[in-house]
Structure 1
Amino acid sequence: MIEMMLMGFLMDGEKTGYEIKKYMENSTHYFFNTGFSSIYPKLKKLEKEERVRVSQVIKNGKLNKLYTLTDEGKKAFLEWLEIKPEIGRIRDEALLKVFFFDHLEDDKIVPQLKGYVGDLSQHVQNLLSIKERLSTREVEVEPWKMMTLEFGIRYYNFLEQIFNEMLLKNSPDQD
C-alpha cells in the first residue's frame, strides 16, 4: 500500500523523498501515513522494479534524489486504482481503551474522555484550517482531494460527537 501511495504522489510530478513526506503531512497524513524510514526503502524497491526513475539534482547547494514515475509505474498505479478497495478495519486506541474501561476507576474515565474530545476538536480545527487555506488558493484543488478532506472533517466531528455522548453518560451528575 505504501508503494501505491508513493506512486500516487508522483503522479502529480517528480519529487524528492522529503517533498513526498511534506505533501503527505498536508494530505493523506490524516488517514494514511508513513515515515522516512519506510519511504526511502519503498522508493528504492520501486526503482528496482523500474516503476520509478531516480535522478540527482542540486537544490540549495545540496545533492538531492529526484523521483519520477515511469510509464510502468503509472500503469501499475492506475491498475491498482481500478481495483475495488476492501473495507478497512477501525484501529483506534481510544476505542480499545473504552472497551476496557470497566477495569478503570470511574473517576479516571471522565478525564480521559475529556482529553480525547479536546484532541478530536483540535484535529477538526486543523482540518478546517487546511480546507480554508485550500479554498483561498488561486489554483482549484482537485475535487477528489477536497472530498477526502471533507470526509476527514466529518469523520472526526462524528468521533467527537460519539465521545461527547460517552462523556455525558459517564459524568457524575448523570447518576
Structure 2
Amino acid sequence: MIQSLLNHKGTKVTLFSLLFLSVTLIANTDTEDIKDIKETILTYNQTIIKSAKKKDFIKVFKNMDFLKAVATEKISKKNYFWIAAWQENNLYMNASLDKIEFKKIVVNKNSAQAYTNEKWSYRYLNYLPNGKTKEAYPLTKIFYQVKYSLLKDNNRWKISGIDILSQKEKK
C-alpha cells in the first residue's frame, strides 16, 4: 500500500511537503518556547534584583507571590523568605546581573532545563535612621554556572528549580 502511494505521481511531493511542514511547526514551537524560557529567566532575575533592594519589600509582598508570573509557589516563597531574612537584619542587596549567557536549553513538552553562565556584582547596604545607606558588605563579583528547571503552567514557563553548578567569587 505505502509502496503504491510512493510510486504515484505527486505523492512524494505531498509526503515531503507534510514532513517539511511538521518539522517547521516543531522548530517554530521550540523557538517560541526557547524565547519564552529566556524571558522567564531574565524576568526572574530582574525581579529578585529589584525586590532585594526595596526598603518596604516585606510590607509590599506579604502574600509571598511576588514571583508568581515566572516561578512556582515553592520558588517564590523560598526567595521571599531569603530576602525577608536579610532585610529583617537591615541588609539590602544592591545587585546587578552583568552578563548572562544561555549555554543550552532542552525542552521536553511541558518541562525544560536551561543552563546559563552568569556574572553578577552585588553588595549589601544598611539603611540608616536618616534614610541614607551605608555599605555593610563590599562589592563582590561572582561567576555562576546555573541550571534552571522550568514547568509550563497554563501556557507560561515557570521556574521550578535552580541549581548552582559552580560558583567563583572575586572581591
More strand by share: 2
Larger radius of gyration: 2
Same fold (TM over 0.5): no
TM-score, normalization by structure 2: 0.26
TM-score, normalization by structure 1: 0.26
